[in-house]
Chain A
Amino acid sequence: MSVNNSVVVADAIELRSEMEERRERGGEKPARPRKHRVTWRKALKRDWRLYSLLVLPLVFLLIFRYLPMAGNVIAFRRFRPGGNMFGDEWVGFRYFELFVNDPTFWRAFWNTFMLGGLSLVIVFPLPIILALMFNELRSQRFKRIAQSISYLPHFMSIVIVAGMVLQLTSLRGSINQGLEAFGSSPIPFMQLPQWFPTVYITSEIWQTVGWGTILYLAALTTIDPQLYEAARIDGASRWRQIWHVTLPGIRPTMVVLLILNIGTFMAVGFEKILLLYNPLLYPTADVIATYLYRVGIISSNFSYATAIGLFEAIIGLTLILTANAISRRAVGTSLW
């Protein structure tokens, strides 16, 4: 490699601090190439190598994602297991009507929304905070050990986690023992619907926060140490360094993750709820996935499930488009 590193590096530093300043000033879009109409022929000629990189993935998506999507048509047709793959007869919006008119579905919808929303609001910021906390550790060894330990809950099988949660919250379990020590009477957490969101979110926090820091830690490594150096020379305390260097450095990652999470927040974890809930908790614990599961056992109705799936998909898509648009306006970074 005969590129003269020092020249490149010096230029790069200058460019970068320019970009940093701009970012600090409040999010202008990074320099865009002049907008002139580029025709496809020109684009292909100019960027054919880039396009060539796209070929394989696009073919993959086409075959393995878009082709099966044709099967979604059974939401509008009556599908009989063993019969025609695309359904046997057209029924229009019948299945949609069926679930729209089912109050249990709407309860499940609302619960999905609540649990997903709470997850988003409460659980999303925590990995960021934890990542920052890790970043402030001086001892590298301690940091590494602590990080590895924090990932452990992610690997625990859901069955075991559920068992643990049930054990902890039982009438003679640790939490109630603690309560009794403070003089209050034991609470049957898993029998009162109002406690379920708390139990669920807490177990989600426990299981996902450590693992969630990985991306942020990776992002933190891309922050140029020179910026810290520069800030320090300017007299900034560590606090200000965090505020002016660290946070802006991981902002792109935060934004991307936030948008993605907003788009998928309705995809509340099915297996964990299935293992944790019981009929007493249906009012707050029953989500769309568990509702479908119970209905599905009785009817094995693929069409019905597909109709609901389409409904959820449309919601998710709308959410992510909206989140993306808002993000572009407000912050300047967006998914596309």
Chain B
Amino acid sequence: MTQQIREARRRPVRRGALFTGVVLTASALVLSGCGADGGGGSADGESGDFDFTGKDVAAMEDYGVGDTFQATEPVEFGLFYRDHPNYPLKDDWLILEALEENQNVTFDIVSAPLSEWDQRKSLVIGAGDAPEIISVTYPGQEVAFVAGGAILPASDFVQYMPNYMDKVEKWDLEADLDQMRQEDGKYYVFPGFREEPRAEYSFAVRSDVWEELGLSLEPATFDELRDQLRTVKEAYPDAYPMTDRWSANGPLEATLSFVSPNFGTSAGWGYGEGLTWDGGEFVYTGATDEYRDLIEFYASLVEEGLLDPESVTQDDDQAVQKFASGSAMSIATNDQEIVRYRTTVDELGSDVEMTQIRVPAGPAGDNFQAGQRTVNGFMLSSDVAESENFLAMLQFLDWLYYSDEGLEFAKWGVEGETYTKDADGTRVLNENITVMGLNPGAPENLQADYGFSNGVWTLVHGSTVELDRSMLRPEVLDFVEAMSTKKVLELAPPAPLSEIEREQVSLYQSALKDHVSQNTAAFILGQRSLDEWDAYVSELEGMNMPQYLELVNAAQQRYADAN
């Protein structure tokens, strides 16, 4: 009793950072998609030119797109590093050596473990103790730190980063960047860019069962999928045609996030702030008809016994067990997890086979979530603006994270030492090195032994489509290509909130979201009949939904007027 009381005494504390990570990613993924904060101006020529006198020590005179960055004298940058147990930090990593040799850059590393990453980051910034470069930050995570002035306004300085600007223009990222703007019109995080969003999540189905029953592995619509599940149920009455996972913080979070765009709404991880732009104003996602359609579909699955009712609340381990042991015939997956499922059944020696299918189309079309192009990036602490190496730092970061050369370097390593290039440009990893399922069984690991493809120094898989796909298994490539025919939905207009507004709104959001999660699960399970939908909507209204919408719409109007 003693220990538990003592441990529990520590408040205010947000523990269990893995959950924090999940939900923060979720918020971030949709904050970039569904109108959050922002306001004012385009990305170029922001608040005038910055005076770099005294702050351009070691910077290159002539630095532009296509140039390799090399500091004119050795520099050291402070780095807040996320220590991932798959590749613990080593001082003799090739990446560090190469950066020192070729770019003249070394790092003063402050480490925090992955398990407490977000919390430690929040604490360190909150206490004013942040290192210069704060890595692994998702758009949306920086919002809390803006008002305190601890973070550098990125948008003021991107004009000095040629590769960044180049990609923004080439890939038309203006609208995505606008999503991140705060009330003062600036954005504060340097996001990672994705040329095109990459699909990762979908359903894994038992291809042997599907084939046995003559079912197509490419159901075109969700209705067709449901029919398929019915067939499976008839053939295997003792098993669930579908079970599900990733319901840690809410029902079917991962699944609903990739299913919902096809129903014209957003849900699960994609729910974010619960705002849907209907063309003229924001409405609350949880109260829309499209959301209802989504829930109705899932409720029908449970009612007909096609979806395991425990899916909305069960542990991931239980879900995987059901799928691996054959009590369920399909489950949600991503391209990494399906490997794990396969290893399990292979070791058990069964003939089970599985594939990751393309997400079918729904009543609202064949869609893919909006705004997946600004992702995991980094922040700079505001005191870097006083550093004498400021310009050098900007140039270096620009090269490493945004130039094609830097991106390739961070992901693949050094040509000749870790990989070779074919005549047609295909990269081939050295035989003695493995990474992400390539060259399985090789003695060395690109991440653990060399430090490349490291989440801290690489921005999301390499940003460009080409780099992103360069390390994928053929099966995944097929999936990605199949999914790329989906229509990417458009972003909602930005609606930046003031600090005071945000304080109030966060409470509304939290309460509303809780109610929506709770009722989503209840409706799906049939605990609550869909006839009560209207009652549910009035409950939401009683929870300050109109006030919330009012604030947000006013903010959007404010932004639109100012621009």
Contact indicator per residue, chain B 13-35, by CB within 8 Å of chain A (1) or not (0): 11110011001100100000000
Are B318 and A166 in contact, with the CB atoms below 8 A? Answer: yes
Decide: A302 near B12, CB < 8 A? Known: A104-B511, A191-B313, A280-B312. yes
A191 to B12 alpha-carbon distance, docked (Å): 28
Which 5 interchain pairs have the tightest Cβ spacing?
Answer: A82-B150, A305-B12, A80-B148, A300-B144, A82-B148
Interface size for A (C-beta < 8 A) is 58
Contact indicator per residue, chain B 500-527, by CB within 8 Å of chain A (1) or not (0): 0011101101110010011011100101
A283 to B518 alpha-carbon distance, docked (Å): 9
Most chain B beta-carbon neighbours within 10 Å: one of A81, A280, A292: A81
Say yes or no for B162: interface residue by CB 8 A criterion.
Answer: no
Are A280 and B522 in contact, with the CB atoms below 8 A? Answer: yes
Say yes or no for A293: interface residue by CB 8 A criterion.
Answer: yes
Are B518 and A282 in contact, with the CB atoms below 8 A? Answer: yes
A163 to B315 alpha-carbon distance, docked (Å): 7
Residues of chain A with a CB closer than 8 A to B251's CB: 278-280
Are A274 and B11 in contact, with the CB atoms below 8 A? Answer: no
Are B310 and A188 in contact, with the CB atoms below 8 A? Answer: yes
Residues of chain B with a CB closer than 8 A to A278's CB: 247-251, 312-313, 521
Residue of A nearest to B250 (CB): A279
Say yes or no for A289: interface residue by CB 8 A criterion.
Answer: yes
How near does chain B come to A271, taking the closest CB pair, in angstroms? Answer: 6
How near does chain B come to A204, taking the closest CB pair, in angstroms? Answer: 9
A127 to B2 alpha-carbon distance, docked (Å): 13
A275-315 contacts to B, CB under 8 A, are 275, 278-280, 282-283, 286, 289, 292-302, 304-306, 308-309, 312
Most chain B beta-carbon neighbours within 10 Å: one of A269, A278, A295: A278
Are A211 and B1 in contact, with the CB atoms below 8 A? Answer: yes
Residues of chain A with a CB closer than 8 A to B5's CB: 261, 264, 267
Sampled A-B contacts (22; CB under 8 Å): A81-B126, A82-B148, A82-B149, A104-B510, A167-B317, A188-B310, A261-B1, A275-B16, A278-B248, A278-B250, A278-B521, A280-B527, A282-B514, A283-B518, A293-B14, A293-B15, A297-B14, A297-B20, A297-B24, A299-B144, A304-B503, A305-B11
Q: How many A-B residue pairs have CB under 8 A?
A: 169
Query: What is the interface of chain B, defined by CB distance below 8 A to chain A?
Result: 1, 3-5, 7-9, 11-16, 19-20, 23-24, 27, 122, 125-128, 130, 143-145, 147-151, 247-251, 309-310, 312-315, 317-318, 327, 382, 502-504, 506-507, 509-511, 514, 517-518, 520-522, 525, 527, 543
How near does chain A come to B273, taking the closest CB pair, in angstroms? Answer: 8
Residue of B nearest to A292 (CB): B12
Are A267 and B20 in contact, with the CB atoms below 8 A? Answer: no
Say yes or no for A170: interface residue by CB 8 A criterion.
Answer: yes
Interchain CB contact (< 8 A) of B318 among A167, A282, A296, A301: A167
Say yes or no for A171: interface residue by CB 8 A criterion.
Answer: yes
How near does chain B come to A80, taking the closest CB pair, in angstroms? Answer: 3
How near does chain B come to A15, taking the closest CB pair, in angstroms? Answer: 32
How near does chain B come to A292, taking the closest CB pair, in angstroms? Answer: 6
A294 to B22 alpha-carbon distance, docked (Å): 12
Are B521 and A279 in contact, with the CB atoms below 8 A? Answer: yes
How near does chain B come to A199, taking the closest CB pair, in angstroms? Answer: 12
Say yes or no for A62: interface residue by CB 8 A criterion.
Answer: no
Interchain CB contact (< 8 A) of A289 among B11, B151, B509, B522: B11
Residues of chain B with a CB closer than 8 A to A104's CB: 507, 510-511, 514
Residue of A nearest to B514 (CB): A282
Residue of B nearest to A94 (CB): B503
Say yes or no for A90: interface residue by CB 8 A criterion.
Answer: no
Residues of chain B with a CB closer than 8 A to A152's CB: none
Are B313 and A270 in contact, with the CB atoms below 8 A? Answer: no
Are B8 and A280 in contact, with the CB atoms below 8 A? Answer: no
How near does chain B come to A96, taking the closest CB pair, in angstroms? Answer: 13
A68-89 contacts to B, CB under 8 A, are 80-83, 85, 88
Say yes or no for A249: interface residue by CB 8 A criterion.
Answer: no
How near does chain B come to A122, taking the closest CB pair, in angstroms? Answer: 13
Residues of chain B with a CB closer than 8 A to A268's CB: 8
Say yes or no for A208: interface residue by CB 8 A criterion.
Answer: yes
How near does chain B come to A236, taking the closest CB pair, in angstroms? Answer: 32
Residues of chain B with a CB closer than 8 A to A127's CB: 1
A299 to B12 alpha-carbon distance, docked (Å): 13
Are B8 and A267 in contact, with the CB atoms below 8 A? Answer: yes
A147-167 contacts to B, CB under 8 A, are 154, 163, 166-167
Interchain CB contact (< 8 A) of B506 among A257, A299, A306: A299
Are B309 and A190 in contact, with the CB atoms below 8 A? Answer: no
Decide: A295 near B510, CB < 8 A? Known: A191-B527, A271-B15, A278-B521. yes
Are B1 and A297 in contact, with the CB atoms below 8 A? Answer: no
Interchain CB contact (< 8 A) of B15 among A190, A274, A300: A274
Say yes or no for A13: interface residue by CB 8 A criterion.
Answer: no
Residues of chain A with a CB closer than 8 A to B130's CB: 82
Decide: A294 near B126, CB < 8 A? Known: A98-B503, A98-B504. no
Say yes or no for A102: interface residue by CB 8 A criterion.
Answer: yes
Decide: A81 near B506, CB < 8 A? Known: A280-B312, A280-B521. no
